[in-house]
Amino acid sequence: MPCLALPFLSPCVLPLVPSYLSFISGISLNELSREKNNAKVKKIALLHSIMFILGFSLVFILLGASASLVGKILLQYQVWIARIGGAFIIDWEGKVIGKAVGIRKWATEDSLDLIEYLLDKKETDSKNQ
């Protein structure tokens, strides 16, 4: 349990606590330090803190759920995404090699035939499995 207090008491976090409490509770530091409305202030701060935590949690839960949904949708097209990504990488590398070596047009008929053969071979291999 003491491990949980250690990050809270760090020099980076501790100075932020008064401003955090003022922001969450909607009450200034002077009003927080007064003792006559202490119970009311604590209830307001607790309620606002709970709502802040619930709102934050809801946002991140929804972001995680939507990322999972997008991942499941993209998983269906994994083979095509890999092929298109491979084509982009081959094209980019060809341009880099072309600039380094000084070749103007790297995509000759032979290299395009080889790429087409490799893509067809991958497709037949994936169907056989």
Confidence class for position 125, pLDDT limits 50, 70, 90: low
Domain range annotation of the chain: 2-70, 77-128
- What is the spatial distance between Cα 10 and Cα 92, in angstroms, rounded to a whole number? 47
Predicted TM-score of the model (pTM) = 0.47
Residue keyed to tokens 């071979």: 121
75 SS3 class: helix
* Residues 115 and 90: beta-carbon distance below 8 Å: yes
Q: For the chain, what is the mean pLDDT?
A: 77
* Percent over 90 (pLDDT), the chain: 19
Distance (Å, rounded) from C-alpha 73 to C-alpha 66?
Answer: 11
**Are the C-beta atoms of residues 45 and 24 closer than 8 Å to each other?**
yes
- Which residue pairs, CB below 8 angstroms and at least 24 apart, start in 40-48? 45/21, 48/24
Residue 107: predicted pLDDT:
60
